[in-house]
A and B are shown apart, each in its own frame.
Chain A
């Protein structure tokens, strides 16, 4: 766990990944979140993901807004540039950074206040543009840093710490993303690293914006009886039927390959997602089916988790723009400035 100080000298040699790094090389600074915070588990899952995918630590950019969730960008991959921006503004900043340099893995960490209230408009448009990034919402239903106000994801009837029940309909990022045409929609639970790591791996290899709504209980303000975002409630109501496994192949993938009766989806940037379990007749590449499945589960009071929907056929923001393969930041000035002769010629049209 990143929130626990590690001995300087490991007792046993740590395993290394394909580029000779250990999991330590993907860690960040000490967490200042509360002990037991779900967000620290998400951080640990991200560290594990980056390590197992052997991503060069400096080829990652971490972005966040403001709030408890947004602090977590400091707690993983300290060799990567991080940007803890303004409340709700992670998505536009990630969009701009991605426009400038398409050659980096962008991981945006946001919260339910950040993405479903103050920055909801930005999240919506980042999804529409299919910005090539991993977009994690650490969703706990409350404003933690300001001590426990309901957020926009609080369910009707869910009780606050002091007893009052929420009366306003929630914004569900999963249904919102599905209806907006998002190309990768997942929900997971911070207490379930076994499920979260494969989802994160698939997200990192996804062609565009991968939205992952992680229910991440707030141990201080929203982990009590009566809350629908407590560890206990989520464990009791989780519907974990769509369970992905990520298989990194390192080889070019030609097509979707059904094997052992399990469904496989090839990710755009390499790797295969194999669905270990799927409900009968469920197709995670069928948007309507996913929306129907999630709606039905909600109606039963269940929280469906897993990689709910994935579509690798949707072009990302750069493909739509036909942007140069070379990141814009690496284009030499001489290629960008038309020069004096062109200016002279152009001005013939201004007389």
Chain B
């Protein structure tokens, strides 16, 4: 059943379609194989040179619950989430009403017309495009599983026709994806053709929005943050990883394993002439997150570059050993792919609500170095930097990514690597250096940045010391003396403060005549930058700063001092970044206002612009 498209202002039928500027939402049932079809469309658009993003809005479920995928196409590179859907691919009968209700006026719904849509769902201002997917696949394929799976590929074919994806690009992608399984490749090609041909024969030739090949993805890649993070850990030379499975961080460790199995395996010939594979890595799936961090501390203490990846609930467990690492000055890299808290919260939804917990994790006076990447490219770069900082400052470094960055595909500049890079292992003494110094004091002899030397167990004959989480003095000896205790903890405070100069600088964009500053972090960036452009079109100029590290450096403080008013955009209920700026960057509470989104879905530019508007109009 194909209804006649309704003419609306937004639907310039016969006029020029909107090029490379639209959003498609896919409503699916979890566990039916839709993810690969949706990803196929995403990659095809990327290959056509058009900036694109894919956001997976999925439930904490393996099979049966509703799941959505959003693709936003934007030739100018604005790829934060759009809530203005031009095309809804409605493949889930359970959510028809909700999905059809979300379509913009003049938009389109693609549905499986094997069965008619209930009349109550029809909207006069929306165009319904029917493709009898179940019937087409039922006729073309045998086997119930294949019939279900191939419906996804068939709708991908129909969508490709409707939005103007080059069929050759799709065919190439399938060829690459299924080169090892020709039967599967052939089924996919056939299903794709089914959908494409049906649409070509039965659906309108032009929609009011369309793709056109461009060069907007030249020298760019399509990558998720967790893969990029794992790659950063590999390139930094991490040899020991310990982790406990948790959404949305699991794929960091899993990708690290895949990368290690490819790049860190050697064939060795044994004494008896036989050849065996040797791994230059150890990956430990721990019994819990507490143990995972314990393993990282053991490995780092012994001198290996080591990391763990987790999410909020894991950070809660790790608090104990983060305090131990801080106080005993052991390097550790912790990747926190944030999800919605508190407690179990919404495991498959995004939030930036671990900021304060991470900044001050553990009992007692502590403060930790944080890195705040905004996209997968920064995940790669900051992962490498985290190891340098952790070893330079002998303290835990947490990289706060989030579910949106970690699990969704982003278009970013190609990753680059400087072969001249050498890891900063920090102050690690050899036997010769200990001999020259004439002594070794584990927590004495600090350098200009309050870092003291360490030795590695088993690697030097001299310089053994006793690491203890109990009170210790500058020699590493047990103490309950007030002055000796204070001597160490005061140096620790100065050391972490000194690290600020080594962290990534904030990203600042200034506009002439700015009436206020907007401060944000992490994955908010895309939505905020686009929102500031929207506001500028309305005549509201705003300066922009994205903080990328904690403790805050002088540039962050200067931005705050230079603005009479700042709006802090973040994804948590309590305005945690705002609080941290007040506590740690001389921020004035009366001059800082929050713009918040914390429902668990990535922000859109409209949301941010509306939030800012309502604040500055007050």
Contacts and interface: CB of A to CB of B under 8 A. Distances in A.
A335 to B, nearest CB: 7
Contacts of A78: 464
Nearest to A79: B464
A271 B208 CA distance: 82
Contacts of B288: 121
B427 to A, nearest CB: 16
Interface in B442-476: 455-462, 464-470
Interface in A70-111: 73-74, 78-86, 89, 91-101, 103-104
Interface string B166-186: 000000000000000000000
Contacts of B458: 58-61, 81, 101, 103-104
| Interface majority SS (helix, strand, loop, mixed), chain A | helix
Given A99-B240, A338-B263, A85 B235 contact: no
B306 A350 contact: no
Given A86-B321, A336-B239, A125 B466 contact: no
B464 A94 contact: no
Given A81-B464, A104-B457, A94 B278 contact: no
Contacts of A68: none
B297 A96 contact: yes
B457 A61 contact: yes
A84 B472 CA distance: 12
B467 A92 contact: no
A338 B370 CA distance: 27
Contacts of A169: none
A6 interface: no
Contacts of A58: 458, 460-462, 464
A81 B455 contact: yes
B418 to A, nearest CB: 7
B221 A328 contact: no
Q: Quick one: which of A81, A103, A122, A335 has the most chain B CB within 10 A?
A: A81
| Interface majority SS (helix, strand, loop, mixed), chain B | mixed
Contacts of B301: 83, 93, 96-97
B291 A328 contact: no
Interface string B536-572: 0000000000000000000000000000000000000
Contacts of B46: 351
Contact of A95 (B290, B295, B300): B295
Contacts of A94: 298
A124 B287 CA distance: 9
Contacts of B415: 343, 347
A343 B465 CA distance: 40
Contacts of B282: 99-100, 317-318, 321, 323, 328
A93 B297 contact: yes
Given A84-B470, A104-B457, A99 B295 contact: yes
A324 B279 contact: yes
Given A96-B242, A125-B291, A342-B263, 13 more contacts: A61-B458, A78-B464, A82-B465, A89-B291, A95-B298, A96-B284, A96-B294, A323-B279, A325-B268, A328-B281, A330-B459, A336-B237, A346-B231
Contacts of B277: 322
Contact of A329 (B286, B303, B324): B303
A322 B276 contact: yes
Contact of A125 (B266, B286, B306, B419): B286
A142 B277 CA distance: 47
Contacts of A9: none
Report the 7 A-B pairs with minimum CB-CB distance, sorted nearest first. A96-B298, A92-B294, A81-B457, A96-B295, A100-B304, A97-B298, A104-B458
B509 interface: no
Interface string A307-340: 0000000000110011111001111010111111
A79 B458 CA distance: 10
Contacts of B291: 89, 91-92, 95, 121-122, 125
B467 A84 contact: yes
B315 to A, nearest CB: 16
A82 B456 CA distance: 11
A76 B47 CA distance: 64
A47 to B, nearest CB: 15
Q: Quick one: which of A60, A80, A100 has the most chain B CB within 10 A?
A: A100
B337 interface: no
B333 interface: no
A89 B421 CA distance: 35
A325 B278 contact: yes
Q: Quick one: which of B242, B291, B296, B418 has the most chain A CB within 10 A?
A: B291
A96 B455 CA distance: 17
Contact of A99 (B293, B304, B422, B460): B304
Contact of A331 (B280, B286, B421): B280
A333 B423 contact: yes
A114 to B, nearest CB: 13
B234 A92 contact: no
A81 B476 CA distance: 12
Nearest to B461: A58
A33 B220 CA distance: 64
Contacts of A63: 298
A328 B287 contact: no
A346 B228 CA distance: 12
Interface in B409-442: 414-419, 421-423
Contacts of B304: 99-101, 328-329
A98 B303 CA distance: 11
Q: Quick one: which of B294, B306, B423 has the most chain A CB within 10 A?
A: B294
B341 to A, nearest CB: 24
Interface in B271-328: 276-282, 284, 286-288, 290-304, 306, 320-321, 324
A56 to B, nearest CB: 8
A115 B278 CA distance: 33
Contacts of A336: 237, 239, 264, 280
Contacts of B234: 337-338
B608 interface: no
B457 A95 contact: no
